[in-house]
Structure 1
Amino acid sequence: MNLKDRGNKKWTAMMLIEHRKRLKELKKSEKDREKPILDDQEKAAINFKLQQAVQKKLPVEIKYYEDKRFKITSGVIKKVNLNRKEVIISEKTDEQQKISINNLLDLRLK
């Protein structure tokens, strides 16, 4: 006998709409992460790698925090705007992305 468990799907017919909404919210919030606090050494290391990447136009992989999630992007850094505190990175698709300097978590030179 082959029984396939469908998880919450089998129970949704008996649930109220409010319960279904709350289950969706719970699943969404499980993926939420808190922004880690970087110490001075980590910030200095990111700053050093950032300067090298800009001067030598090296491709980088950046891990950053946005919308309660950790995200990763890669490309070449076009500009660092210190007035707006943001990094402008050009991705492989020739699209430019702006990332706040305060949200940088890790930077790897390729």
Structure 2
Amino acid sequence: MIRDRGTIKWVSMMLPEHTKLLRELEKNQHRASKPLLDEQRLEELNEMIHIGIAGNQTLSFSYYQNHAINNVEGNIHFIDHINKTVRIIDLVEKIHDVQLVNIVDIQPL
């Protein structure tokens, strides 16, 4: 039976610059890109934010930050119109400030 060692057999012939570039390439492949939202979807998100504020409803937020999609569940505490952020207090009383342009999805719980 033939056992393939993958990239291990080629590492001895590579320059350190090549191995560094290969590691960076592999790391960048796992990054998520920011989804583009159309105008209708932005209106739906705006409506969900207003419903969450008016009814003090717990919502599930998905937002883009640091090349990844993060999730937080909680209530909207404050909307900062100047800095365009939403302050969310999650279920364990931790505060999250999320940029409005980075919000990808909002779902009621």
TM-score range, shorter chain: 0.7 to 0.9
Relative to structure 2, which stretch is displaced further, 56-65 or 41-50? 56-65
Unaligned runs of 5+ in 2: none
1:13-92 to 2 correspondences below 5 Å: 13-92=12-91
Structure 2-normalised TM-score?
0.83
Residue type matched to 1:104 in 2?
Answer: I
1:35, distance to aligned residue in structure 2 (A): 2.0
1:93 to partner: Cα distance: 3.0
Mapping of residues 94-105 of structure 1, within 5 Å: 94-105=93-104
For 1:13 and 1:91, locate their aligned partners in 2 and report how far apart those are by CA, in whole Å: 50
For the aligned residue pairs, the C-alpha RMSD in angstroms reads 2.1
User: Counterpart of 1:67 in structure 2: which amino acid?
Assistant: N
Q: Which amino acid aligns with 1:28?
A: K
Compute the TM-score of the two structures, normalised by the length of structure 1.
0.82
Residue 31 of structure 1 contacts residue 69 of structure 1 at CA under 8 Å; is this kept in 2?
no
Percent of paired sites with the same residue: 29
| Offset of residue 42 of structure 1 | 0.5
Structure 1 residues 8 and 55, CA gap change in structure 2 (3 angstroms): farther
Q: Which shifted more, 44-53 or 68-77?
A: 68-77
Contact 1:80 1:87 in 2 (8 A): yes
Indicate how the Cα distance of structure 1 residues 56 and 7 shifts in structure 2: closer, same or farther if over 3 A, else same. farther
State the aligned residue count.
109
CA apart distance, 1:84: 0.9
- 2:108 maps to 109
